[in-house]
Structure 1
Amino acid sequence: MDLLPLVQVIAREGRLEEEMFLTTFLLDEAKHVEFFHVLTHEVAQGGDLEGFHGESYRRIFYEELPRAMNRLLQDPSPEAQVEAAVTYNVIVEGVLAETGYHAYRRAAEVVGERGLGLPGTLEGVGYVQRDESRHIAYGLYLLSRHLAQDPSLWGVLDRRMDQLLPLALGVVQEIFAAYPEGFPLGLEVGEFVGYAVDQFQKRYRRLQLARGQGLREIERIALEAEG
């Protein structure tokens, strides 16, 4: 799985608590794969979804994500860790996944108005999103820790976020573009592009705050979030 190189880096650094958390992170991701497999193949009775993988999706998931994560196998530097965490935790989870969960809820609202409730789907998506919120929080902690230890890493982080945001928005736009006569259920692309931008800006602002915080403050915030 994409996360394994980061787990190995954190383990080699002797960060036991983070390593233990990341093992639960891996378990969560395995459960999510199982849930969405059941949802798409048994509930929705869908087939191959690669037809929905547009150019931006392929750039992120076929190129940028594996490249950033696999780089850690040879280069465990703080710079490589920052690029990996931005890619995985901020963009893939914090922007794209969060926007996807919003889409599930909005679609459920529309079909619910038409008399078709989706309580099981929404409950499952809610559990997945709960897990992902912990994953995103860890990524923000990891990035904040690196910024506290070396403020010059902001340049690496900022460039990576600037590089990936257009691709993330492209993923959303290309899904809607696949329906030139209008997206099913009457949903509009602007709503979801706006939601994705909001998620990006929320994480960006949090990381900007971390630039002025020391390591003790970062640790304190992380402990309070756990409580």
Structure 2
Amino acid sequence: MATEYTPTELMDRDSRANRYYRNAVERHWDPGEIELEEDVENLLAYIDAANEFTRTDWERTLNGIAKFGAGEDAVTEDLAPLATVLDDLDEQLFLTTQLYEEAKHADFFDRYWREVIWTVEDERGWDRSNPRADKWFNEPYVELFDRNRAAQYRLLEDDTPENRAKAYCHYHLTVEGILAQTGYYGMQTSYGGEFDALPHLPGLVEGFSKIRSDEGRHVGFGMNQLKKLIADGVDPSLVQETVDELVPLVQGITEDERFQPDDESEQVGLENGRLAAYALEKHTDRMQQITDAAADIPDVDELVRIEDD
């Protein structure tokens, strides 16, 4: 006798999680196909055009790239517990795409360091930089990612609605929604050709654009999960309080002054406060969409669209 299946055992193709899954499939991209040769040429020209270009100047250029590369490695490793505890088929489908995409993001930054950073250093006869050297990561950075890891692995021992909410707050709302999205916006703007005093790095900008689009979908998924948890009884104040505890760490990362020029007149790129304002605007909008029962979370097509911010 043939087995009879009920609709609950099949995909719900109208669910938000399934739409996120399909969107990820349809927007596939390969980090190995992004052209990087122009980045090498422009960095070499940028170094040669400087009156004096020191190792400190070079490390200032590499600082953000190193932080993002290590961050993508970390979130790739730390998402597995959430994928393990989810019992909804469509949510599981989406998490498989997120795991895959986090791995692609880590792949892109590894390739960029090997094919761009090391190529430039070899051309100039410099020692090759270590993208995982401790000097790139200040205490707030280490603490934020340690807390995120702990929040994810807590689910394997105590999978409660409140702990799931905290996991989404750490990973999707804070690490991806505030830190990463703001940082990608800043790096795209800085190296997109807007500032003559900074090198134009089209390969890096293209990678940021594609990663940022992926993570818009990731953040939207986390927002939707939190909205459902709140509808099922999780106190909205838990979400707000969890993120509020983490925001100072994000500020400590984005305001890392160790690689900034001593003379403020020598600073180039985004003016002071622009990134902070961007992060605050995005965070405020997301919290309102999550905690207000009448508010809608943007559709997936809007979440993955990168506008001219």
C-alpha contact (below 8 Å) 1:56/1:167 kept by paired residues: yes
Who is 2:115 aligned against? 42
Q: Which amino acid aligns with 1:159?
A: E
Query: How far does the alpha carbon of each residue in 1:52-97 deviate from its partner, in whole angstroms, 9 at most, with x for none?
Result: 2112111101x21111011011011100000000000000000110
Equivalent-residue separation in structure 1 for 2:109 and 2:252 (angstroms): 22
Who is 2:225 aligned against? 142
C-alpha contact (below 8 Å) 1:98/1:199 kept by paired residues: no
C-alpha contact (below 8 Å) 1:25/1:135 kept by paired residues: yes
CA radius of gyration, larger in: 2
2:78 partner SS: coil
1:72 partner SS: helix
Identify the match of residue 100 of structure 2 among 13, 19, 27. Answer: 27
Equivalent-residue separation in structure 1 for 2:198 and 2:171 (angstroms): 37
Deviation (angstroms), 1:114: 5.2
**4+ residue segments displaced more than 4 Å:** none
Equivalent-residue separation in structure 1 for 2:300 and 2:197 (angstroms): 39
> TM (normalized to structure 2)?
0.63
1:41 partner SS: helix
C-alpha contact (below 8 Å) 1:173/1:193 kept by paired residues: no
Who is 2:259 aligned against? 178
Q: Aligned Cα RMSD in Å?
A: 2.4
Deviation (angstroms), 1:158: 1.6
Deviation (angstroms), 1:189: 4.0
Deviation (angstroms), 1:118: 2.0
Query: How far does the alpha carbon of each residue in 1:164-219 deviate from its partner, in whole angstroms, 9 at most, with x for none?
Result: 11111111112x3432514753444422222222222222121122xx25xxx97x
- Does 2:227 correspond to 1:119? no
The runs of 5 or more residues in structure 2 that have no matched partner are: 1-76, 119-128, 303-309
Q: Which amino acid aligns with 2:93?
A: M
Identify the match of residue 172 of structure 2 among 81, 89, 98. Answer: 89
Deviation (angstroms), 1:23: 0.2
Who is 1:52 aligned against? 136
Q: Which stretch shifts more, 40-49 or 65-74?
A: 40-49
Identify the match of residue 161 of structure 1 among 243, 268, 274. Answer: 243
- Does 2:139 correspond to 1:66? no
1:179 partner SS: coil
C-alpha contact (below 8 Å) 2:105/2:211 kept by paired residues: yes
Q: Which stretch shifts more, 121-130 or 21-30?
A: 121-130
1:117 partner SS: coil
Q: Which stretch shifts more, 18-27 or 159-168?
A: 159-168
Structure-2 change in CA distance of 1:91 and 1:57 (3 Å): same
1:113 partner SS: coil
1:196-215 maps to which residues of 2 (within 5 A)? 196-209=279-292, 212-213=293-294
- Relative contact order, CA 8 A, sep 6+: which one is greater? 1
Equivalent-residue separation in structure 1 for 2:252 and 2:279 (angstroms): 11
Equivalent-residue separation in structure 2 for 1:69 and 1:90 (angstroms): 13
Equivalent-residue separation in structure 2 for 1:132 and 1:191 (angstroms): 21
C-alpha contact (below 8 Å) 2:230/2:291 kept by paired residues: no
Q: Which amino acid aligns with 1:120?
A: G
Equivalent-residue separation in structure 2 for 1:57 and 1:28 (angstroms): 22
> TM (normalized to structure 1)?
0.84
Q: Which amino acid aligns with 1:154?
A: P
Equivalent-residue separation in structure 2 for 1:19 and 1:195 (angstroms): 31
The runs of 5 or more residues in structure 1 that have no matched partner are: none
**How many residues end up aligned between the 2 structures?**
213
Q: Which amino acid aligns with 1:87?
A: H
